[in-house]
Structure 1
């Protein structure tokens, strides 16, 4: 089973919905995670230490870190055009992540994938 960390642009409710569906998902903004307002480097390092792929639409910054050699447990990239942070967009994002994770997909250590459309 893949473990996932939702970047700060995604609400903790989305992580909870995915957990309710049986997936190991936490959000940067979950109080118990303690990553709110941390740098991208801190988020990536925490995720790597906890063997969690990062789901983010902050593509430029996370790709830059990956190309600079920051080791990570995987990046799942999302575009705000495809999955806007609106009610319907977040619903579609949740469905896409649920399908992706249910299929056993994972970018793997230092892997990078784009979240497919649903």
Structure 2
């Protein structure tokens, strides 16, 4: 399963659900990096140092970071979904079949209905 680093705005409930699905999720809060005004670049650098893919709702900025440099362990950008179980399942479905997230940008979009 995937090693993930959930950024500060990522829903805690989804991180916990992903753990029940077998993913290794470290949150910014658990890493002691919350409420410090850390830049997106620093979030990605921390993830890279810890061999983790970033999981975020901050689609625009992290897509830009991916375009600038694909030397990372994956970036998963998500649209927010108030149905946290459905959100976690969609993320799991998107990443579970992949052998590696390294260098990949994965988009997980909330269904329109």
TM-score normalised by the chain length of structure 1: 0.74
For 1:26-37, list aligned pairs within 5 A: 26-30=26-30, 33-37=31-35
The CA RMSD measured in Å over matched residues stands at 2.4
- Aligned match of 1:109: 102
CA contact (8 A) 1:47 1:54 kept: yes
Give 5+ residue unaligned stretches, structure 1. Answer: none
Paired residues in the alignment total 109
- Aligned match of 2:9: 9
Distance 1:35 1:71 in 2: 22
- Aligned match of 1:73: 73
Deviations 1:27-82 (A, max 9, x none): 2233xx122132111110011111111111211111222222363211111123xx
